[in-house]
Structure 1
Amino acid sequence: MVAQRTRHAAIAANLANSETLLNAAGEYEPYKRREVMFAPGDPTSPTRDGRAMGVHVERIHVNEEALRARYDPTSPFADERGIVMVPDISPAIETINSMQAVRAYEANVQAAEVTKQMLAQALRLLA
């Protein structure tokens, strides 16, 4: 669930910054799309079986190539041809990715709920 939550946060950041051209210092540096990379297993699990299950966030990749040219001669960041490099973030693709992350998170919640119910039933049988 943590991995999907992290993925969803990166997607939200991509959407929120899809038109961002300046960095925190106010310098021209278009926002670059973030992609969460998963790896199999849970390295924080105390058991070997637990470490072999699920996924974890391996890294968050910043796509340095994810810029597109936009014609805007009125922009102070335009080159001599009137071209400004802007983030190449598609709201449609990010929205679809967001829906996938939410569905995966919900599936994980449902699986945890079923596991909890199974354990409760087993405890009732033992009591």
Structure 2
Amino acid sequence: MGAFDTLNIASSSLGMHQTWLDALAYNIANANTIRSTDQDAFQAQMVIAEADPGRGVDVAGIALSDPEGVIEYDPTHPLADEDGNVRAPAMDMASQMTQLVMAQRGYQAAVQVTKYAQDSYSSAIQIGGA
């Protein structure tokens, strides 16, 4: 392992967690997006992460939730069809909030690793320069 591998691995983690946080923010912001039954439902984004041995983690892609969504009865909604139905996203808000906490904790851990690595490298440079 090279001298700066820790920083590179922590940096890849920061990038993946930031992407995850962005996707979750997008999902939560659109949790109440209602569409007519002849349209696809809002599709939540799910980040696919993969290990990159020796380099950290990469975002392998973004998967989308089911476009069918959930049919809900809401005859007062302006987009309701003749039967009073609308299409809502098939998304569990509790799951989104749980993932948000996990993504935040992962991001914070990567920041802390970066900080410790920088402090260690700075100490090593000072020792070497003395």
1:46 equivalent in structure 2: none
2:93 equivalent in structure 1: 91
Any gaps of 5 or more consecutive residues in structure 2?
1-13
1:67 equivalent in structure 2: 69
CA drift of 1:111 comes to: 0.5
C-alpha spacing 1:56/1:66, structure 2 compared with 1 (3 Å)? farther
Give the TM-score taking structure 2 as reference length.
0.77
CA drift of 1:30 comes to: 2.4
2:8 equivalent in structure 1: none
> What RMSD in Å do the two structures reach over aligned CA positions?
2.0
Counterpart check, 1:11 vs 2:24: yes
Any gaps of 5 or more consecutive residues in structure 1?
42-50
Larger relative helix fraction: 2
Q: Deviations over 1:40-84 (max 9, x none)?
A: 11xxxxxxxxx6331111101111256112111223433443222
Structure number with greater CO (CA < 8 Å, separation at least 6) is 2
Q: Give aligned-pair identity as a percent.
A: 27
Partners of 2:89 and 2:19 lie apart in 1 by 21
